[in-house]
């Protein structure tokens, strides 16, 4: 069976996603299509950061059958970064 999000072959018979990360990203994709939770902003990124985010976008597109916008990649990376930062600040 193939993962519904990334397309990897999985051996579990009743699983839809190969990991919790794929389930999280897929859920985020469904929320993204709603657009009611989003605010439009303009930001400036340095070239290295932009290249890194484009590389992530490229990998996600290669592993899925869906289109993935640059904004979606930025949101995914920021969400994970904010979670990590919050846990670090709470531990201090």
Q: What is the predicted pLDDT for the residue at 25?
A: 58
Write the CA distances from 6 to 24, 25, 88, integer angstroms.
12, 9, 30
Closest CA to 5 of 27, 32, 38: 27
Give Dmax (Cα) for the chain.
45
Q: What is the predicted pLDDT for the residue at 36?
A: 67
Q: Where does the pLDDT of residue 29 fall: very low under 50, low under 70, confident under 90, or very high at 90 and above? A: low
Q: Where does the pLDDT of residue 9 fall: very low under 50, low under 70, confident under 90, or very high at 90 and above? A: confident
The SS3 assignment for 41 reads: coil
Residue 68 or residue 55, greater confidence: 55
């Amino acid at each position: 069976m193939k993962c519904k999000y990334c397309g990897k072959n999985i051996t579990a018979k009743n699983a839809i996603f190969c990991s919790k990360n794929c389930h999280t990203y897929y859920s985020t994709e469904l929320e993204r299509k709603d657009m009611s939770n989003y605010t439009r902003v303009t930001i400036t990124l340095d070239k290295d950061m932009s290249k890194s985010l484009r590389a992530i976008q490229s990998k996600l597109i290669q592993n899925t059958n869906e289109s993935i916008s640059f904004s979606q990649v930025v949101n995914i990376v920021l969400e994970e970064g904010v979670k990590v930062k919050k846990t670090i600040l709470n531990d201090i």
